[in-house]
């Protein structure tokens, strides 16, 4: 039964190829990510010790805002010529489309993060005092949490008025536990206090990711086929 | 409804006044906080009512999604029955094994587990019996709207209580924060309902309610862990409660429930009538001969 | 399924009392009809007559408010989506990819992996499979033909085409009609919604006239239009 994974991979490669060709979306988003970091740096100008305490929060809020801009254009290409109708009429499983879009968004947002992190490190003179390797699962799980729900709510907002505002409106309340977890985990790792551990937060993030990925997969078909 | 509603309305008004009297006069004065503490009799019943309404919304949303196909409907029914049975068995097992009994959080009994399971399953099947698939969506709208109102009351009375007593307007207390997130989720639910076109609104709103329901326990748990790592001032009385205060609290809750029931009932009727009117208008449009140009 | 080749007199689609309401607007008001295999049907009527709604309902994109559809023996078009091809006025293609890339992608949605077949279909609709220009830069005629090619990817038994000739030059349109007639002769059942009824004259087996959400007549030729 390679059909669902086949469709998913095919859709993903198509999206990456198209994004690579036009590059306009990713260019403008990279620039937006840069702007966000700069604006934050002007607004919060702490010394090195304080910055470790608040950098976790700042970085993840910046990621969240940059992600929203990326997520809002998830379905833009599909809407242009009603391509979604072609998808709905085909036997391809809805979840394959969803996963392809979610993974595509994940890659996209990770690229944005990869740009923003060095800038934050430079502007805030950050040094990681705790186990730095733990930042990788935190970043991966945290990004997936935003992206999986974001892709789903982007599909829902597409069918509403004011769709650009609808996405963050639906997304932010739902991602609060993930945001708390990632911010806390990042802060714990940055500060490096041996009495604290990011493990609880990573486990909570993983639970969040599993629960909501399953919920999205269960409900996406219904949302796709709703008139 | 015409006859029952005014009578119930008057009875509820009387009950609410009595509950208010209990809260202001009869309940004993709190030792440390003084009379300000009496807002507790307004704050806590609002919270319990809001949570109950949101829980009903959750059940209604699941039913809307699940009852549209026979297979998912059956699966859901059997899942609920299993939940009820498993919680009963779990209760019996825990009651019989002393080690497990000790592991329970303070204040809960083994029977609480069974009671919770049975109540959940009972509510599900009662709603399923008395509400058709279209009616279930009207129930979802109603409980969401009234729930948001009560939730707003909780979020306003919380700071009003906290400020004179603890000197702060807000704290990232587990319950207060979870309530805030719940409020945010349901306000976004109501906005989604308003902004989506009528064909798909029920489905998408139901999906959002399911997401919200999954979210709340995670919020609660994450804030709880947060607080163990960042101790914060505690708002709201913890620990045991004077039995006279408990009595007043429960009376107030009952009065609030009556009031909530009346409001929900009228909102629900309004929603049903609105939909009936729309359907009738649609049917009329169907029967009207459209002029055939020749 | 016992029918490998439906005899020309077997109904391939039967609709009973189809009603579709969008709020207070009734797009379809109780359409009942049956359609046989190996036929080319032209669906005609003014704007708002319900033609597009009915076509989308047959494709499974829109659920009826009331009524039933029986299509290829099942109650739901989505069950037989492999046998359906749908084409609408928007191209249902990605503007940023070439024709071949588009077909390559959409054929994967059907589990087909034959690029040679994609090239064949593109040639059959009269386009060049090697053309690397993105579809967004095609002329309208080319775009409609590529859209038709996409609808043909899975070799469907039933083709549902909504305004395939709109804004298409006469020559391309006539070639498309020839192709459709050829496919009908090869065993497909084809429904064409169009405002340009004259294009189908001679090729269509039957014309279905719709108005006000109902089928008001079915004729073998266009004489009804003159008396209307």
More confident residue, B227 or C185: C185
Inspect the interface and report whether the beta carbons of A200 and B203 lie closer than 8 Å.
no
**pTM listed for this prediction:** 0.89
Model confidence over B3-34: pLDDT tens digits?
A: 888 888 899 999 988 888 888 887 777 777 77
Cβ distance B229 to A156 less than 8 Å, yes or no, reads no
Strands C11-22 and C66-71: antiparallel
The better pLDDT of the pair A145, C46 is held by A145
**Which alpha helices (DSSP H) does chain C contain, by range?**
51-59, 99-109, 115-124, 140-152, 170-185, 197-200, 223-227
Contact B195 A149 (CB under 8 A): no
Locate the chain B residue with the closest alpha carbon to A215.
B211
Rounded distance between C-alpha atoms, residue C105 and residue C97, angstroms: 10
Is A77 near chain C, with CB under 8 Å?
A: yes
Q: Where are the domains of chain B?
A: 4-28+35-67+133-233+243-273
In this prediction, residue A227 has a pLDDT band, given cuts at 50, 70 and 90, of low
List the single residue in C91, C105, C150 with the smallest CB-CB distance to A10: C105
**DSSP class per residue in B105-120:** PTT--HHHHHHHHHHH
Number of Cβ within a 10 Å radius of residue B74? 11
Instruction: Tell me what the pLDDT averaged over chain C comes to.
Output: 88
Contacts across the A-C interface (CB distance below 8 Å): 68
Q: Does domain C11-93+157-227 have CATH number 3.40.50.300?
A: yes
pLDDT in tens, A169-180: 999 999 999 999
Tell me: pLDDT of B291 over 70: no
Inform me whether the C-beta atom of residue B196 falls under 8 Å from chain A C-beta atoms: yes
Q: Structure tokens of C51?
A: 């033609």
Contacts of C84 in chain A (CB under 8 A): 89
Residues of chain C under the 50 pLDDT cut = 1-4, 6, 228
Domain ranges, residue A176: 3-225
- Tell me the residues of chain B between 214 and 253 that have a Cβ less than 8 Å away from chain A: 214-215, 218-219, 221-223, 225-226, 229
DSSP calls for B178-243:
HHHHHHHHHHHHHHHHHHB-TTTHHHHHHHHHHHHHHHHHHHHHHHHHHHHHS--PPPS--S---H
Q: Do C84 and A6 touch (CB under 8 A)?
A: no
Region A81-88: mean pLDDT is 91
Nearest to C179 by CA among C101, C123, C226: C123
pLDDT reading at B62 higher than 70:
yes
Whether C212 and B198 lie within 8 Å, measured CB to CB = no
Predicted confidence at residue B232, as pLDDT, reads 64
What tens digit of pLDDT does each residue of B169-183 get? 887 778 888 899 999
Return the DSSP state at B45: H
Residue B107 has a pLDDT of 64
Higher pLDDT, B239 or C78: C78
Given this model, what pLDDT does residue B238 score? 55
Identify the pLDDT of residue B244. Answer: 80
* B·C CB contacts under 8 A: 28
For chain C, what are the domain ranges? 11-93+157-227
Note the CATH number of domain B4-28+35-67+133-233+243-273: 1.20.120
CB A117 within 8 A of CB A78: no
Instruction: Give the tokens for residue A38.
Output: 């700069």
């Amino acid at each position: 039964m390679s059909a669902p994974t086949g469709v998913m991979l095919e859709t993903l490669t198509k999206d990456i190829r198209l994004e690579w060709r036009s590059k306009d979306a990713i260019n403008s988003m990279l620039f937006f990510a840069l702007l966000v970091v700069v604006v934050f740096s002007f607004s919060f100008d702490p010394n090195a010790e304080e910055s470790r305490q608040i950098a976790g929060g700042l970085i993840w809020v910046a990621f969240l805002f940059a992600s929203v801009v990326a997520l809002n254009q998830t379905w833009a290409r599909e809407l242009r010529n009603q391509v979604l109708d072609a998808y709905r009429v085909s036997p391809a499983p809805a979840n394959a489309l969803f996963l392809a879009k979610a993974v595509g968004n994940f890659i996209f947002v990770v690229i944005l993060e990869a740009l923003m992190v060095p800038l934050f490190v430079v502007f805030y003179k950050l040094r990681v005092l705790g186990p730095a390797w733990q930042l990788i699962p935190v970043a991966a799980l945290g990004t997936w949490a935003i992206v999986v729900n974001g892709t789903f709510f982007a599909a829902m907002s597409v069918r509403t008025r004011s769709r650009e505002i609808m996405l963050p409106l639906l997304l932010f309340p739902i991602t609060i536990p993930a945001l708390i977890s990632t911010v806390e985990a990042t802060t714990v790792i940055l500060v490096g206090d041996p009495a604290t551990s990011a493990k609880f937060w990573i486990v909570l993030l993983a639970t969040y990711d599993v629960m909501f990925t399953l919920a999205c997969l269960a409900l996406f078909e219904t949302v796709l086929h709703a008139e | 409804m015409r006859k029952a509603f005014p009578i119930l309305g008057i009875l509820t008004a009387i009950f609410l006044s009595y509950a208010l009297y209990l809260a202001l006069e009869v309940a004993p004065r709190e030792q440390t906080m003084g009379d300000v503490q009496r807002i507790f009799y307004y704050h806590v019943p609002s919270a319990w009512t809001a949570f109950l309404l949101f829980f009903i919304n959750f059940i209604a949303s699941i039913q809307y999604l699940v009852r549209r196909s026979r297979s998912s409907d059956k699966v859901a029914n059997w899942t609920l029955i299993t939940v009820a049975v498993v919680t009963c068995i779990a209760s019996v097992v825990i009651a019989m094994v002393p080690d497990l009994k000790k592991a329970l959080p303070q204040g809960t009994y083994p029977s609480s587990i069974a009671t919770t399971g049975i109540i959940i399953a009972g509510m599900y099947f009662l709603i399923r019996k008395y509400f058709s698939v279209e009616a279930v969506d009207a129930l979802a709208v109603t409980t969401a709207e009234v729930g948001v109102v009560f939730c707003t009351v909780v979020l306003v009375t919380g700071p009003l209580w906290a400020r004179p007593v603890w000197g702060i307007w807000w704290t990232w207390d587990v319950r207060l924060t979870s309530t805030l997130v719940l409020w945010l989720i349901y306000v976004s639910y109501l906005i989604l309902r308003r902004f989506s076109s009528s064909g798909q609104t029920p489905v998408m709103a139901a999906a959002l309610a399911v997401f919200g329901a999954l979210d709340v326990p995670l919020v609660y748990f994450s804030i709880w862990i947060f607080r163990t790592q960042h101790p914060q001032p505690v708002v709201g009385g913890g620990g045991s409660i004077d039995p006279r205060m408990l009595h007043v609290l429960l009376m107030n809750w009952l009065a609030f429930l009556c009031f909530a029931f009346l409001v929900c009932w009228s909102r629900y009727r309004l929603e049903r009538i609105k939909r009936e009117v729309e359907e009738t208008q649609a049917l009329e449009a169907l029967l009207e001969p459209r002029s055939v140009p020749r | 399924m016992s029918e490998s080749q439906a005899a020309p007199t077997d109904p391939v689609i039967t609709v009973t009392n189809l009603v579709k309401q969008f709020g207070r607007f009734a797009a379809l008001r109780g359409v009942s009809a049956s359609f046989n295999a190996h036929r080319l049907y032209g669906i005609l009527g003014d704007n708002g007559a319900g033609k597009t709604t009915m076509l989308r309902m047959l494709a499974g994109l829109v659920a009826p408010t009331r009524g039933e559809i029986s299509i290829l023996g099942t109650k739901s078009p989505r069950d037989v989506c492999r046998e359906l091809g749908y084409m609408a006025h928007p191209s249902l293609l990605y503007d940023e990819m070439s024709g071949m890339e588009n077909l390559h992608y959409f054929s994967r949605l059907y589990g087909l992996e034959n690029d040679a077949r994609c090239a064949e279909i593109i040639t059959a609709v009269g386009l060049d499979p090697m053309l690397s220009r993105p579809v967004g830069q095609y002329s309208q005629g080319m775009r409609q033909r590529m859209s038709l090619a996409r609808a043909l990817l899975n070799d469907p038994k039933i083709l549902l085409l909504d305004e395939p000739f709109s804004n298409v030059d006469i020559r391309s349109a006539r070639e498309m009609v020839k192709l459709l007639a050829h496919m009908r002769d090869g065993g497909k059942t084809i429904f064409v919604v169009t405002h340009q009824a004259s294009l189908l004259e001679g090729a269509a087996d039957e014309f279905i006239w719709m108005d006000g959400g109902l089928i008001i007549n079915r004729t073998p030729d266009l004489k009804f239009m003159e008396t209307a």
